[in-house]
Amino acid sequence: MKILICVIILLIAHLQYRLWLGDASLAQINSSRHHLEEVTKDAQEKKERNESLYAEVKDLRKGMETIEERARYDLGMIKENETFFQVLE
């Protein structure tokens, strides 16, 4: 009977060791979950950025209004017969 009790105690100790300190311990599982959340959040941000870039590319291919807007904003271009006003604040 004493041998059976010793075997059960050793088995429980081994399982407790694996639960708290082993390869698949609770600390590693929580760490992996946290890392997964960070990666998922980063992937979602990049997905949203890619969608906005795809929409911008689609607009640039589609019409001249977007190209004109970019030229005005980035290069400061104006059309013929337009008057340019600069407001200083």
pLDDT of residue 33: 94
Ordered by start, the domain boundaries in the chain are 27-76
Amino acid, res. 88: L
Query: What does the angle CA 50 – CA 53 – CA 54 come to, to the nearest 5 degrees?
Result: 85
Q: Which helix (H) or strand (E) holds 54?
A: helix 26-62
Low-confidence stretches of the chain (pLDDT < 70) are none
* Alpha-carbon distances, residue 28 vs 20, 32, 38, 49 (angstroms): 9, 6, 15, 32
pLDDT of residue 15: 81
C-beta of residue 83 within 8 angstroms of C-beta of residue 77: no
pTM of the full predicted structure? 0.52
pLDDT of residue 73: 79
